[in-house]
């Protein structure tokens, strides 16, 4: 289709598309670069795209979309054992990676990125399949979400519309591109003809704030944990004249911080937009309009344009009354095809048909605003990453540790029969790439099980 935004980037001509600390690239240049990169691959190739917030990564990604090459989006900091495992499972034909990521001789090089050809054959892939993104990438499972071209186009259109992104916007990167939220910021700003300010630096780097001011950034996104960092940095007292609004996703911000930042931003004549989503819904499902940030603090808001929610009670019927808790189900063109766990799965078709069971328990107030109140499934959000507790227990089990993992967002509590608590923390921290402070270990003599061998989480000792 000609109206996919990635095919029309050249229309923005000499507007700056991408900015690094010492370099700027216009839309015309980006379009040309993207086409040059993809010219070395055939349509419907499978490529591992090793992401870093740089010109090379963005240009590569755009080129893949344009030529219908399917990228598997991975972080440049990925654990090497996990990476090798993924290469063995998916057998990509190409790797597009930073020059220093691998020693292999490149087929082609551009912007400190190189293209490596592996010599494998092209896999059978569903025609609609556009991009593969991890959900719980942090636990290293080979599970990816299969997103289509229509998923990306429709969700990006909705985001541009409800956030009101304008060509004058300049989004500074604060999240990785292999993470759905980070990628949605890249996509929505390209669609709007706005500017991406690319950096790998964090809020705790002076260089980040220097570049923020120099580039006159107008917006960025952050996850709950980074809002705590911003709070610690007294962000609301900072003088950032170019800033227009900030967004939040990647887990529950909590009513207190939602209110504090909503009010603080409003008092400065700026805005906070809290959003809710999932990789399985491409990126976004709902948002709290900025003018409701204070009044509806703690809410996940209303469905995005083109989508809608339903709440389903335990009997499977739809809840119509306000303030009743049920499972949150989302409908929209951004609901993805399903998961892939192997190379064969790339050829699977649509398993969801536009309907996504979120696994979150929620209620709706009388004004139609939704509130997440709990979870149906066993996972935690740690620093914005969904971490599946079952997968973590499996990882431990393969290492010979018997564990039962519980906890709250940003903090996992690992019950274990092992005495090597340091080893457990070191292992899981390196596998997930999450800081050790996210994990604590409690030794117990025995993990309580029922007769069929299921762990009785309710009988674990209270910490």
Partner 1 sequence: MTNLEKYNQAFCETFQLENPDFDALQYMGIEQWDSVGHMSLVAALEDAFDIMMDTDDIIDFSSYAKGKEILKKYEVEI
Q: Which is nearer to partner 1, 333 or 433 (CB)?
A: 433
* DSSP per-residue codes, 114-125: EEEE--PPPPP-
* 422 near partner 1 (CB under 8 A): yes
Residue closer to partner 1, measured from CB, 82 or 438: 438
Rounded to a whole number of angstroms, the minimum distance from the CB of residue 262 to partner 1 is 21
Stretch that binds partner 1, among 81-89, 98-106, 123-131, 205-213 (CB under 8 A): 205-213
437 contributes a contact to partner 1 by CB under 8 A: yes
Whether the Cβ atoms of residue 57 and residue 104 lie closer than 8 Å to each other: no
Binding partner 1 by CB under 8 A: which of 203, 245, 427, 457?
203
Query: Of the candidates 95, 112, 97, which has an alpha carbon nearest to the alpha carbon of residue 41?
Result: 95
Beta 379-382 vs 385-388: how paired, if at all? Answer: antiparallel
Q: What is the nearest approach in angstroms of partner 1 to the Cβ of residue 449?
A: 30
DSSP character at residue 378: S
For partner 1, the closer of residues 12 and 235 by Cβ is 235
Neighbours of 325 (CB within 10 A): 16
The binder of partner 1 chosen from 232, 308, 376, 423 (CB under 8 A): 232
Nearer to partner 1, 107 or 233 (CB): 233
Size of the site for partner 1 (CB under 8 A): 25
39 lines the binding site for partner 1 (CB under 8 A): no
Query: In angstroms, rounded to a whole number, what is the distance separating the alpha carbons of residues 279 and 282?
Result: 5
- Minimum Å gap between C-beta 42 and partner 1 is 39
Q: Does 413 contact partner 1 by CB under 8 A?
A: no
Please choose, out of 36-44, 61-69, 199-207, 256-264, the segment that lies near partner 1 by the rule CB under 8 A. 199-207
Least distance to partner 1, CB of residue 412, Å: 13
Query: Which DSSP string do the residues of 335-374 spell out, in sequence order?
Result: ---EEE-SSGGGG---SSTTEEEEEEEEEE-TTS-EEEEE
- Our CB check for partner 1 shows the closer of 234 and 320 to be 234
Shortest Å, Cβ 175 to partner 1 = 12
Q: Does 383 bind partner 1 (CB under 8 A)?
A: yes
Q: Does 11 participate in binding partner 1 (rule CB under 8 A)?
A: no
In 91-129, which positions are buried (b, 16+ CB within 10 angstroms) versus exposed (e)?
ebbbbbbbeebeeeebebebbebbbbbeeeebbebbeeb
The Cβ of residue 292 has, within 10 Å, a number of other Cβ atoms equal to 18
Non-local (6+) Cβ contacts of 416 within 8 A are 396, 401, 402, 403, 404, 424, 441, 442, 443, 444, 447
Shortest Å distance, C-beta 237 to partner 1: 7
Q: State the minimum distance, in angstroms, from the CB of residue 226 to partner 1.
A: 8
Residue 318 interacts with partner 1 (CB under 8 A): yes or no? no
Closer to partner 1 by CB, 96 or 383: give it: 383
Q: Is 100 in the site for partner 1 (CB under 8 A)?
A: no
* Shortest distance in whole angstroms from residue 463 CB to partner 1: 18
Give me the residue label for tokens 């609901």: 335
User: What phi and psi values does residue 304 have, to the nearest 5 degrees?
Assistant: -70, 160
Question: Based on CB atoms, which residue is closest to partner 1, 202 or 347?
Answer: 202
CA dihedral 442, 399, 103, 182 (to 10 degrees): -50
205 contacts partner 1 (rule: CB under 8 A) = yes
Quick check: 429 binds partner 1 (CB under 8 A)? Answer: yes
Near partner 1 by CB under 8 A, which window of 1-9, 108-116, 228-236, 352-360? Answer: 228-236
Taking residues 148 to 187 in sequence order and writing x for each that binds partner 1 by CB under 8 A, - otherwise, the string is: ----------------------------------------
Give the gyration radius of the chain's Cα atoms. Answer: 22
Q: Could you say whether residue 206 binds partner 1 (CB under 8 A)?
A: yes
| Residue 245 structure tokens | 């609004």
Which residues, in sequence order, are CB contacts of 448 under 8 Å at separation 6+?
455, 456, 459, 460
- What does the alpha-carbon distance between residue 144 and residue 133 come to, in Å, rounded to a whole number? 5
Q: Is 228 in the site for partner 1 (CB under 8 A)?
A: yes
Q: How far apart are CA 31 and CA 192, in angstroms?
A: 15
Residues within the interface to partner 1 (CB under 8 A): 202-206, 209, 225, 228-229, 232-235, 237-238, 383, 422, 425, 429-430, 434-438
């Amino acid at each position: 289709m000609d109206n996919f935004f990635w095919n029309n980037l050249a229309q923005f001509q000499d507007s700056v598309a991408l900015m690094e600390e010492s370099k700027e690239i216009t839309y015309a240049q980006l379009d040309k670069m993207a086409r040059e990169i993809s010219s070395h691959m055939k349509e419907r190739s499978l490529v591992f795209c090793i992401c870093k917030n740089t010109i090379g990564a963005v240009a590569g990604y755009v080129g893949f979309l344009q030529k219908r090459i399917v990228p598997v989006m991975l972080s440049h900091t990925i654990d090497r054992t996990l990476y090798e495992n993924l290469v063995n499972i998916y057998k990509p034909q190409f790797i597009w990676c930073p020059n220093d990521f691998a020693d292999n001789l490149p087929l082609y090089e551009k912007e400190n990125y190189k293209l490596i050809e592996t010599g494998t054959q092209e896999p059978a892939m569903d025609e609609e399949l556009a991009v593969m993104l991890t959900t719980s990438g942090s636990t290293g499972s080979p599970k990816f979400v299969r997103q289509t071209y229509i998923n990306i186009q429709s969700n990006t259109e909705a985001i541009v519309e409800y956030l009101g992104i304008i060509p004058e916007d300049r989004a500074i990167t604060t999240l990785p591109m292999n993470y759905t939220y980070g990628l949605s910021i890249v996509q929505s700003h390209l669609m709007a003809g706005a500017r991406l300010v690319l950096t790998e630096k964090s809020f705790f780097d002076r260089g980040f704030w220097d570049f923020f001011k120099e580039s006159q950034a107008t917006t960025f996104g952050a996850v709950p944990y980074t809002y705590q960092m911003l709070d610690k940095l007294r962000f609301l007292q900072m003088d950032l004249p170019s800033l227009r609004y900030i967004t939040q996703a990647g887990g529950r911000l909590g009513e207190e911080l939602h209110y504090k930042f909503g009010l603080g931003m409003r008092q400065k004549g700026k805005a906070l937009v809290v959003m809710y989503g999932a990789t399985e819904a491409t990126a976004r499902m709902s948002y709290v309009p900025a003018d409701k940030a204070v009044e509806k603090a703690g809410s996940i808001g209303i469905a995005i344009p083109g989508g809608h929610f339903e709440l389903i009670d335990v009997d499977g019927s739809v809840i119509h009354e306000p303030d009743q808790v049920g499972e949150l189900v989302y409908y929209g063109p951004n609901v993805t095809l399903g998961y892939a766990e192997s190379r064969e799965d790339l050829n699977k078709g649509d398993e969801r048909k536009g309907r996504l069971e979120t696994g979150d328990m929620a209620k709706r107030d009388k004004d139609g605003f939704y509130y997440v109140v709990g979870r149906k499934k066993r996972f935690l959000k740690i620093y914005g990453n969904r971490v599946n507790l079952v997968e973590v227990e499996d990882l431990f089990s393969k290492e010979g540790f018997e564990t039962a993992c519980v906890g709250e967002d940003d903090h996992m509590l690992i019950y274990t029969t092992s005495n090597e608590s340091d080893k457990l923390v070191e292992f899981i921290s390196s596998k997930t790439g999450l800081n050790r402070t996210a994990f604590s270990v409690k030794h117990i003599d025995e993990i309580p099980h029922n007769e069929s061998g299921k762990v009785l989480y309710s009988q674990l000792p209270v910490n």
